[in-house]
Every structure is written in structure tokens, then in C-alpha cells.
Amino acid sequence: MNTILKRTLLPSLMAASLAGVTLVPAQQASADDRVLRDIGIGAATNVVTGAIRGNGDFLGNAVKGGATGAAVNGANGLRGDRRHRNAAQDVGVGAGASALTGVITGDRKDTLGNAIDGAAVGGAIHLLTNGK
């Protein structure tokens, strides 16, 4: 009886799961067509704030800022209305993404500073792109 159930149910279950995976369309990526603009704004802003605070090197700050800009763009892509950004969301996502990127890249000694830089990136992206 057990062998009959395996031979009957398993192929049907596998076919159904395969059809469900291939025929159900995947959700579109959250980042929009302006992701490169936000990455550029983030990299430039983080280079400037890093230079002002004397934290890190040019390339490291640009990488953290670019990653933060992409995260802010992705967070806004989750919202239905992409033209009207939320300032608190942009600043919060920027702070969190920059702190996390700093940990990933090995800049663990100044997590609060990385969060401040990321908040500045989120604020700059919000100011430069809100309503556009």
C-alpha cells in the first residue's frame, strides 16, 4: 500500500509544485529605473560626510554610500506611490543600511558614525528626488 501511494501521489505532487513555480509570475524587483541615480547620490553624499568626519577612505565611503542609496531606492520601490517619498523612511533606511554595510565591509569601530552617514544619505536622496 505504501509503495502504491508513493507511486501515485509523488509524481502528482511534483508536477503540481513545478507548475506552481513556473506558471505563477514572480513579483517584480523593488528597485526602479532610478536606482543608479540614488546610488550616485548616496556615494557622493557618503564621501563628503566621511571626509567631514575624517572617517574611512574615499573608496570605502563611496561603496557604503552606494549600497545605502540602493537600499533607500529599494525601500521606496516597495511603496505604491514612488513619487512621494517618506522622509523618515528614507533617513531610517539609510541609517540602517549604512550601519549594516559598515559591519559587512569591516568598519565595525564606528557603527554610530556609519549610521549618521547613512541618515545623511537618506536625507539627501529624499531632498533631491522627492516628487520627481
Note the maximum CA span of the chain: 75
The whole-number pLDDT of residue 132 equals: 67
The whole-number pLDDT of residue 21 equals: 46
Q: What is the mean pLDDT of each run of 10 residues along the chain (132 residues)?
A: 61 54 48 80 92 85 91 78 78 92 82 91 90 68
- Name the pTM for this structure: 0.71
Grid cell in block for residue 70: 540602493
* Own/partner long-range contacts of 27-32 (Cβ < 8 Å, ≥24 apart): 29/77, 30/74, 30/75, 30/77, 30/78, 31/70, 31/73, 31/74, 31/77, 32/73, 32/76, 32/77, 32/82
What's the Cα-to-Cα distance from 122 to each of 3, 22, 23, 74, 82, rounded to whole Å?
59, 37, 38, 12, 15
